[in-house]
C-alpha cells in the first residue's frame, strides 16, 4: 500500500515534525518499508508503478493514539456515579461491573465490541487493558479486540485479597488463593496466545499481560509468583502504583513495605498513576525501565493530587497517557492530552505562588509534549514506535482540518485566515495545495478538534475504520 500526503508525528518530547508531501509504502505484514519526499526520484518511480492512496490537502496522517490504562469491563458504567468517594464507587460500579461482565458472556461481548468501535472512532489504535478475573471473559475481550483490528494488550486481573465493603453489591470479588490465581494467570497466557496462533505472526494483534490489581488486593505470594512468571516468560505486567495517599499508607501499615517495593518493576511493566511517587522513586523506575500510565482525569477525581509529570519526564521515565475508563469518563485520548496540559499548568502556577520554594524548573507541559505522550510515549512503553519510520508497524489516523476545495474548517474548526468568501464555483486545481499545513493549524485541532475531524484509521497496515 502506497500512501501520499502530509505526515505529522512527535519523534521527541516537545517536537512536532511535519513531513510535507511524503510517500509511505507498507508491506503485507503491515510494516512501513519506505518513507521519503514524494518529489524524490525513487518516489516518482514508485508512484508511476502503483496505485496510490492520496491524503488531500487540509488533512494529514498522525500515528494512532495509545491508551496505556483502561478498565474494559468498567466501560459498562462509563460516566456513572463519579460523585462518590473511591471505595464506594468501586463497590457500586467498578467491581460490580467486573462481576456482572464475568457472569454474562453475551453482555461481555456486547460491551467489548462496542468498546473496540469507540476506540477506533477516537483514533486509539493501541490499548493496554485491565480485564476481569475470569479467564473466559478475558478471552472474549481479546477476541473482540482482534476481530476489530485493535492492537490490544489484555490483562486478566489477578487478586486474592477481598477489598469489597461488607454488604457491597459486588459481593466478594476475588480468586480463591494465590496458587489458583497463579494457575489461572498462566492458563490465560497460553489461551490468549492460542487464540491467535492460527494467524500469521504479523496479524496477531493481542497479547496477554499479567495484571495484579494493586498491592492491597494481592498477597505477597501472588505478587512474587506473578513476578516469576513475567521474568521466566518475558510477559508484560501492569498494575496501579501509589495512586492515593490511603493506598500508600495502607501498604505501609498492613504490609510493612512501600507500595513501590515489589518485584513487578521490570522493563515490561506499566504502572498506572504513580501520583505519590517522588523524584528518587522516578529514578528507580527509570533504572528498572518501568513505564508510567499518566491518567490526569481520574487523578483529579480519585488521587487528590496531581501526578509530578515534569519530574518523571526529567528523570527519563517512560510516560504515556491513560484514559482510566471508567475512573475517567472520557475514552478520548485528546481529552487526556488536554487534561495533562491543564493540570501541569496549575502545578506551575502553584509553584510560582510559593516564591520561597521556587525551583528553577517549569512544571507545565505544552500541547506538543502531550502529543508525544499520547503517541510515541505510550508506544515506547509497550515496545512499539509510535512514529512514522521504516521498520515500524503502520498505525495511523487521518486528521481532517479543512476542506481542500472551499478551505473551510471541518467539524468544530474555523480557519478564518485561509477561508475565502466561497462563491460555490469549483476552484482552480492549482490552488488546492496553496494552503500549507502548519503548527498553528494543528494546535487549533489539538484544542478544539473532535471525532468529526477523524477519517480513516489503520492498525498494522490494515484499514480498521472507514473515513
Which spans of this chain sit near Zn ion (rule: CB under 5 A)? 272
Q: 272 vs 309, which CB is nearer to Zn ion?
A: 272
With respect to Zn ion, which residue has the nearer C-beta, 274 or 396?
A: 274
Residue whose CB is less far from Zn ion, 163 or 272 = 272
Q: Give the residue with the Cβ less far from Zn ion, 298 or 407.
A: 298
Q: Please, which residue, 223 or 457, has the CB nearer to Zn ion?
A: 223
Q: How far is the CB of 293 from Zn ion (least distance, A)?
A: 8
Residues in the chain, total: 467
Cβ 74 to Zn ion, closest distance in Å?
8
Smallest distance, Å, CB 80 to Zn ion? 16
Cβ-contact 399, 58 below 8 angstroms: no
Query: How far is Cα 424 from Cα 18, in angstroms, rounded to an integer?
Result: 31
Residue 327 Cβ vs Zn ion, minimum distance, rounded to whole Å = 6
Cβ proximity to Zn ion: between 19 and 293 the closer is 293
For Zn ion, give the closer residue by CB, 129 or 272.
272
Closest approach, Cβ 324 to Zn ion, in A, equals 5
- Taking the complex as a whole, how short is the minimal distance between the CB of residue 298 and Zn ion, in angstroms? 7
Q: How far is the CB of 71 from Zn ion (least distance, A)?
A: 6
Cβ neighbours, 10 Å, residue 415: 17
C-beta of 272 vs 313, nearer to Zn ion: 272
CB of 326 to Zn ion, least distance (A): 9
Cell of 284: 528507580
How do 396-400 and 454-459 pair as beta strands?
A: antiparallel
Residue among 16 and 248 whose Cβ is closer to Zn ion: 248
User: Shortest approach of Zn ion to residue 458 CB, angstroms?
Assistant: 28
* Nearer to Zn ion (CB atom), residue 264 or residue 272: 272
Q: Considering the complex, what minimum distance in angstroms separates the CB of residue 240 from Zn ion?
A: 5
Amino acid at each position: 500500500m502506497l500512501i501520499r500526503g502530509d505526515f505529522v508525528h512527535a519523534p521527541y518530547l516537545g517536537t512536532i515534525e511535519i513531513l510535507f508531501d511524503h510517500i509511505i509504502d507498507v508491506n503485507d505484514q503491515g510494516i512501513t518499508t519506505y518513507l521519503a519526499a514524494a518529489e524524490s526520484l525513487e518516489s516518482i518511480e514508485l508512484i508511476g508503478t502503483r496505485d496510490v492512496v492520496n491524503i488531500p490537502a487540509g488533512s494529514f496522517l498522525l500515528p494512532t493514539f495509545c491508551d496505556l490504562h483502561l478498565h474494559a469491563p468498567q466501560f459498562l458504567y462509563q460516566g456513572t456515579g463519579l460523585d462518590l468517594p473511591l471505595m464506594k464507587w468501586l463497590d457500586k460500579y467498578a467491581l460490580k461491573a467486573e462481576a456482572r461482565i464475568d457472569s454474562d458472556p453475551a453482555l461481555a461481548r456486547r460491551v467489548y465490541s462496542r468498546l473496540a468501535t469507540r476506540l477506533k472512532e477516537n483514533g486509539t489504535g493501541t490499548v493496554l487493558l485491565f480485564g476481569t478475573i475470569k479467564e473466559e471473559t478475558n478471552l472474549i475481550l481479546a477476541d473482540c479486540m482482534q476481530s476489530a483490528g485493535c492492537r490490544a494488550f489484555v490483562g486478566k486481573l489477578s487478586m486474592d485479597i477481598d477489598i469489597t465493603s461488607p454488604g457491597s453489591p459486588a459481593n466478594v470479588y476475588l480468586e480463591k488463593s494465590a496458587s489458583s490465581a497463579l494457575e489461572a494467570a498462566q492458563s490465560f497466557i497460553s489461551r490468549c496466545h492460542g487464540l491467535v496462533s492460527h494467524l500469521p505472526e504479523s496479524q496477531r494483534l493481542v497479547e496477554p499481560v499479567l495484571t495484579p490489581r494493586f498491592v492491597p488486593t494481592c498477597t505477597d505470594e501472588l505478587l512474587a509468583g506473578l513476578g516469576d512468571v513475567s521474568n521466566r516468560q518475558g510477559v508484560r505486567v501492569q498494575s496501579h502504583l501509589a495512586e492515593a495517599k490511603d493506598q500508600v499508607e495502607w501498604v505501609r501499615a498492613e504490609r510493612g513495605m512501600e507500595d513501590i517495593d515489589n518485584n513487578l518493576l521490570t522493563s515490561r511493566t506499566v504502572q498506572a498513576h504513580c501520583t505519590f511517587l517522588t523524584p528518587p522513586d522516578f529514578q528507580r523506575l527509570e533504572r528498572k525501565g518501568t513505564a508510567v500510565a499518566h491518567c490526569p482525569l481520574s487523578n483529579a477525581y480519585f488521587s487528590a493530587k496531581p501526578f509530578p509529570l515534569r519530574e518523571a519526564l526529567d528523570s527519563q521515565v517512560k510516560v504515556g497517557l491513560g484514559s482510566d475508563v471508567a475512573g475517567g469518563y472520557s475514552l478520548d485520548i485528546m481529552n487526556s492530552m488536554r487534561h495533562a496540559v491543564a493540570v501541569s499548568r496549575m502545578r506551575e502556577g502553584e509553584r510560582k505562588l510559593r516564591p520561597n520554594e521556587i525551583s528553577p524548573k517549569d512544571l507545565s507541559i505544552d500541547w506538543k509534549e502531550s502529543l508525544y505522550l499520547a503517541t510515541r510515549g505510550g508506544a515506547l512503553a509497550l515496545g512499539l514506535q509510535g512514529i512514522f519510520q521504516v521498520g515500524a508497524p503502520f498505525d495511523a489516523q487521518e486528521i481532517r482540518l479543512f476542506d481542500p476545495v472551499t478551505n473551510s474548517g471541518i467539524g468544530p474548526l474555523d480557519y478564518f485566515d485561509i477561508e475565502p468568501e466561497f462563491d460555490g464555483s469549483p476552484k482552480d486545481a492549482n490552488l488546492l495545495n496553496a494552503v500549507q499545513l502548519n503548527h498553528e493549524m494543528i494546535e487549533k485541532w489539538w484544542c478544539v478538534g473532535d471525532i468529526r475531524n477523524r477519517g480513516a484509521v489503520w492498525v498494522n497496515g490494515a484499514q480498521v475504520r472507514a473515513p
